[in-house]
């Protein structure tokens, strides 16, 4: 049996584990599966990465139907990289959920595992309709996760998140229908180059792209992201931050590469939206009054940076974009988890209610400081190479957009630097903190009471964030090892021949 | 012409309902939108009546395209699940249809 036949297991195992955790309500079993299954996904991703050194693309036609009719599960270097990163981040976030006790809320472990299954499916599938199905599999548990782990306010936010994502999913479905009507297939490999050759197919695929970009959080359709994410709990936000928007962006990379042969439609409009996304995200950080609100806007800015790779579509730009994608997942995860530990201990994430944390919380300050360095693009973090890669690729790109992107990224970096300094000074600088808001058993967040001297963030709460920020620092030190992998991933996007051949068998 | 017109009417009505504040109306809006999407999928196949697509019993030239039907079936199942979830949310969060935040004892901005 070829290793490709094992690909559906990446979807089947998390979904089965989700079923098991519904029935078996023993905390130890649930926690083992909640952390273990995503970790196993990451390990499987590493194994795939090794396998791709020999065979660049592995494809499995589920149910052994004829190639072209069967639902294909495809993995290449980019997929494997995404599986490793999303799997590892999910495992770390699940660990954080166990530490804060949020995994004891009803059905959180099965929901998180279903989310993992949906993400793996969306990454692996090579079929547009199947992509819609897996995006739904991914979003349904998310709707519930927001509502389950939350307060009444979160319910309202969950509702907005549901409606936005559902309308977008309907769009995605309509796009898939139009593609089927225009091209007679929704198999991505069979669509190779079709969108570039046939304007009818091109228009249909662009509807799918539009839906994915809304899910990615591109300006001007980004508004749901900074409203929804900070209102969930930190652990859930970290989980979503690493998965949802990033899966959408991954699909954009893949579809533009295969269906359009790298020529994104309406390049002018898309370029303008990317520039706006980079700038608006950086600017929006200024206006936020909560710690995680600022990070959410930085996520929007990051979406713009990641899409620079698609907009330019040169080998260097794609590799830099993939590297930035990985860097961004890791960095934002670390920051959100560190901030979550602060919120969990001090009972508030509002910048005006926090101050002087730097003196109290050395370790948390170090993590958050490194995370902010990484967002802005300073050493010793992965952010430096992420931005350097994008700027160099933009400078070398033949199109005039390269210069525009460089200018936008530079301006955004300066704005982000200023905004994040204000963010840092408000929460971590200033006079010592006088009051805090310990959890109230009846109402959740309680009232402000004088802060005793011995209240500190427990070390174990900071451990998940430490792991992620360490990954970011390792990515800085080991960029020489990791960039070739990103270039491999970019190579798979530039030459889709092996992808098509593996799926269609010709 | 009837199908495109129906799709158009469904989308219009769905979007109108989505702009309403009440959750139940928004849920109906989503329902209409997904009906429109399902009809759109059907139009992607051949819309006139064809024989049932069963291998070995029907001449493939006369059979209907089974793929859009499978798509619609899947989409209907997903929509049903989502509708149930959203209607539940509409019921348990009934107070936040109002402009005033519900009295739940927690500070609005902690």
pLDDT tens digits, one per residue of A339-389: 999 988 888 888 888 888 888 888 999 999 999 999 998 888 998 999 999
Indicate the range of A80-89, A409-418, A427-436, B53-62 predicted with least confidence: B53-62
Looking at residue A153, what is its pLDDT? 63
- Residue A290 pairs in a beta bridge with A350
Q: Provide the residue ranges of all domains of chain A, joining segments of one domain with +.
A: 3-436+453-504
pLDDT confidence band for B110 (50 / 70 / 90): very low
Does B48 have pLDDT greater than 50?
yes
Task: Tell me what the mean pLDDT of segment B5-22 comes to.
Answer: 91
Task: Tell me what the mean pLDDT of segment B82-86 comes to.
Answer: 86
Q: Give me the half-sphere count of Cα atoms (radius 13 Å) on the Cβ side of residue A480.
A: 1
Does A294 have pLDDT greater than 50?
yes
CA distance A154 to chain B (A): 10
CA distance B93 to chain A (A): 7
Q: What mean pLDDT, rounded, does chain A reach?
A: 89
Using a CB-CB distance cutoff of 8 angstroms, which residues of chain B are in contact with residue A348? Answer: 110
Looking at residue A111, what is its pLDDT? 92
pLDDT confidence band for A273 (50 / 70 / 90): very high
For chain B, helix (H) and strand (E) counts, in that order, are 3, 0
Q: What domains are defined for chain B?
A: 2-96 (1.10.287)
CA A331 → CA A169, A270, A339, A384, distances in Å? 28, 26, 12, 12
Looking at residue B105, what is its pLDDT? 46
DSSP state of A432: P
Rounded Cα–Cα distance for residues A138 and A115 (Å): 5
CA A340 to chain centre: 18
Does A445 have pLDDT greater than 80?
no
Tell me: ipTM over 0.95.
no
pLDDT > 90 fraction of chain B, expressed in percent and rounded: 25
Partner B, chain A 329-358, Cβ-Cβ below 8 Å:
347-348, 350
Task: Tell me whether A173 touches chain B (CB under 8 Å).
Answer: yes
Instruction: Note whether A155 contacts B93, CB cutoff 8 Å.
Output: yes
Angle at B55 between CA B52 and CA B59, to 5 degrees: 70
Instruction: Note whether A177 contacts B40, CB cutoff 8 Å.
Output: yes
Angle at B17 between CA B12 and CA B20, to 5 degrees: 140
Task: Tell me what the mean pLDDT of segment B8-35 comes to.
Answer: 90
For A76-115, letters b (16+ CB in 10 Å) and e give bbbbbbbbbbbbbbbbbbbbbbbbbebbeeeebbbbbbbb
Does A22 have pLDDT greater than 70?
yes
Indicate the range of A127-141, A303-317, B64-78 predicted with least confidence: B64-78
Partner A, chain B 53-72, Cβ-Cβ below 8 Å:
67-68, 71
Does B98 have pLDDT greater than 60?
no
Looking at residue B22, what is its pLDDT? 80
Residues in chain A: 506
Looking at residue A353, what is its pLDDT? 85
Q: What mean pLDDT, rounded, does chain B reach?
A: 80
Please tell me which of the candidates B34, B43, B96 has its beta carbon nearest to residue A156: B96
Please tell me which of the candidates B89, B102, B107 has its beta carbon nearest to residue A158: B89
For A141-208, the DSSP string reads HHHHHHHHTS-HHHHHHHHHHHHHHHHHHHHHHHHHHHHHHHHS--BTTTTTTHHHH-HHHHHHHHHH
Task: Tell me whether A136 touches chain B (CB under 8 Å).
Answer: yes
Does A247 have pLDDT greater than 70?
yes
Looking at residue A6, what is its pLDDT? 86
* pTM of the predicted model as reported, rounded to 2 decimal places: 0.92
Indicate the range of A260-264, A461-465, B62-66 predicted with least confidence: B62-66
Instruction: Note whether B85 contacts A143, CB cutoff 8 Å.
Output: yes
Rounded Cα–Cα distance for residues A368 and A358 (Å): 10
Task: Tell me what the mean pLDDT of segment B79-98 comes to.
Answer: 75
CA distance A309 to chain B (A): 32
Task: Tell me what the mean pLDDT of segment B87-109 comes to.
Answer: 59
**Is residue A63 packed enough to be buried (19+ CB in 10 Å), middle (13-18) or exposed (0-12)?**
exposed
For B62-106, the DSSP string reads TB--HHHHHHHHHHHHHHHHHHHHHHHHHHHTGGGGSSSPP--SS
DSSP state of A229: G
Does A244 have pLDDT greater than 70?
yes
pLDDT confidence band for B101 (50 / 70 / 90): low
Mutate which of B29, B44, B100 to disrupt the A interface (most A C-beta within 10 Å)?
B44
Task: Tell me what the mean pLDDT of segment B38-52 comes to.
Answer: 78
Does A396 have pLDDT greater than 60?
yes
Task: Tell me what the mean pLDDT of segment B53-64 comes to.
Answer: 77
Instruction: Note whether B30 contacts A166, CB cutoff 8 Å.
Output: yes
Q: Rounded to 5 degrees, what are φ and ψ at A6?
A: -85, -10
Please tell me which of the candidates B74, B89, B92 has its beta carbon nearest to residue A162: B89
Task: Tell me what the mean pLDDT of segment A224-246 comes to.
Answer: 88
CB pairs under 8 A between A and B: 94
Instruction: Note whether A178 contacts B44, CB cutoff 8 Å.
Output: yes
Instruction: Note whether A178 contacts B40, CB cutoff 8 Å.
Output: yes
- Candidates A312, A309, A313; CA nearest to A321 is A309
Mutate which of A169, A345, A439, A448 to disrupt the B interface (most B C-beta within 10 Å)?
A169
pLDDT (tens digit, 9 = 90+) per residue, A63-114? 777 777 788 899 989 999 999 999 999 999 999 999 988 888 888 899 999 9
Task: Tell me whether A178 touches chain B (CB under 8 Å).
Answer: yes
Mutate which of A143, A163, A172, A436 to disrupt the B interface (most B C-beta within 10 Å)?
A163
pLDDT confidence band for A162 (50 / 70 / 90): confident
Asked whether A452 and A459 are in contact (CB, 8 A), the reply is no
Please tell me which of the candidates A167, A177, A348 has its beta carbon nearest to residue B33: A167
CA distance B54 to chain A (A): 15
Helix, strand and coil percent figures for chain A, each rounded to 5 = 75, 5, 20
pLDDT (tens digit, 9 = 90+) per residue, A483-500? 999 998 999 888 888 888
Does A37 have pLDDT greater than 50?
yes
Does B108 have pLDDT greater than 60?
no
Instruction: Note whether A180 contacts B71, CB cutoff 8 Å.
Output: yes
Instruction: Note whether A140 contacts B81, CB cutoff 8 Å.
Output: yes
Please tell me which of the candidates B71, B85, B96 has its beta carbon nearest to residue A140: B85
CA A297 → CA A287, A321, B25, distances in Å? 9, 19, 31
Classify residue A297 as left (phi > 0), alpha (psi -120 to 50) or beta.
Answer: alpha
Instruction: Note whether A159 contacts B40, CB cutoff 8 Å.
Output: no
**Maximum average pLDDT range among A138-152, A341-355, B86-100:** A341-355
Instruction: Note whether A155 contacts B89, CB cutoff 8 Å.
Output: yes
For residue A290, the SS3 value is strand
Task: Tell me what the mean pLDDT of segment B34-48 comes to.
Answer: 84
């Amino acid at each position: 049996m070829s290793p490709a036949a094992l690909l559906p297991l990446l979807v089947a195992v998390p979904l089965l584990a989700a079923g098991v955790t519904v029935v078996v309500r023993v905390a130890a079993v649930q926690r083992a599966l909640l952390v273990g299954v995503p970790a196993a996904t990451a390990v499987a991703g590493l194994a795939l990465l090794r396998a791709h050194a020999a065979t660049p693309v592995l494809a499995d036609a589920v149910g052994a139907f004829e190639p072209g009719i069967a639902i294909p599960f495809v993995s290449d270097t980019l997929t494997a990289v995404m599986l490793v990163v999303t799997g590892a981040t999910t495992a770390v976030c699940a660990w954080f959920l166990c530490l804060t006790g949020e995994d004891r809320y009803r059905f959180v472990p099965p929901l998180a595992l279903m989310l993992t299954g949906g993400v793996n499916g969306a990454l692996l599938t090579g079929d547009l309709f199947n992509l819609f199905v897996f995006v739904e599999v991914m979003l349904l548990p998310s709707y519930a996760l927001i509502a389950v782990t939350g307060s009444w306010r979160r319910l309202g936010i969950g509702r907005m998140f549901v409606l936005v994502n559902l309308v977008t999913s309907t769009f995605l479905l309509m796009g898939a229908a139009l593609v089927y009507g225009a091209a007679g297939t929704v198999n991505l490999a069979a669509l190779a180059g079709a969108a570039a050759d046939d304007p009818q197919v091109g228009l249909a695929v662009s509807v799918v792209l539009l839906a994915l970009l809304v899910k990615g959080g591109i300006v001007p359709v980004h508004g749901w992201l900074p409203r929804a994410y900070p209102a969930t709990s930190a652990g859930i936000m970290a989980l979503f931050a690493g998965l949802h928007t990033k899966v959408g962006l991954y699909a954009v990379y893949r579809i533009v590469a295969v269906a359009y042969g790298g020529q994104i439609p309406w390049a002018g409009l898309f370029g303008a939206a990317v520039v706006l996304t980079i700038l608006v995200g950086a600017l929006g950080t200024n206006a936020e009054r909560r710690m995680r609100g600022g990070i959410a806007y930085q996520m929007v800015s990051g979406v713009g940076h990641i899409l620079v790779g698609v907009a330019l579509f040169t080998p260097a730009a794609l590799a830099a974009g993939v590297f930035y994608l990985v860097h961004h997942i890791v960095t934002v995860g670390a920051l959100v988890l560190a901030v979550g530990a602060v919120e969990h201990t001090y009972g508030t994430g509002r910048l005006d209610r926090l101050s002087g944390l730097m003196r109290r919380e050395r370790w948390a300050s170090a993590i958050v400081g490194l995370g902010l360095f990484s967002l802005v693009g300073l050493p010793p973090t992965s952010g430096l190479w992420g931005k350097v890669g994008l700027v160099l690729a933009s400078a070398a790109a033949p199109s005039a957009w390269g210069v525009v992107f460089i200018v936008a990224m530079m301006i955004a970096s300066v704005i982000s630097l200023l905004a994040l300094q204000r963010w840092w000074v408000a929460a971590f600088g200033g006079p010592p903190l006088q009051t805090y808001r310990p959890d109230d058993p009846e109402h959740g967040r309680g009232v402000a009471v004088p802060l005793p001297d011995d209240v500190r963030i427990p070390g174990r709460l900071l451990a998940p964030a430490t792991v992620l920020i360490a990954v970011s620092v390792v990515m800085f030190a080991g960029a020489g090892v990791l960039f070739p992998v990103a270039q491999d991933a970019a190579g798979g996007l530039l030459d889709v021949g092996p992808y098509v051949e593996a799926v269609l068998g010709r | 012409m009837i199908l495109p017109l129906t799709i158009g009417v469904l989308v219009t009505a769905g979007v109108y309902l989505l702009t309403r504040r009440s959750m139940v109306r928004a849920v109906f809006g989503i329902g209409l939108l997904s009906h429109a999407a399902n009809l759109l999928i059907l139009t992607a196949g051949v819309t006139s009546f064809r024989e049932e697509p069963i291998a070995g019993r029907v001449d493939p030239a006369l059979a209907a395209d089974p793929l859009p039907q499978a798509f619609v079936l899947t989409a209907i199942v997903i929509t049903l699940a989502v509708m149930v979830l959203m209607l539940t949310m509409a019921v348990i969060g009934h107070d936040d249809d109002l402009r005033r935040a519900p009295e739940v004892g927690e500070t609005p901005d902690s």
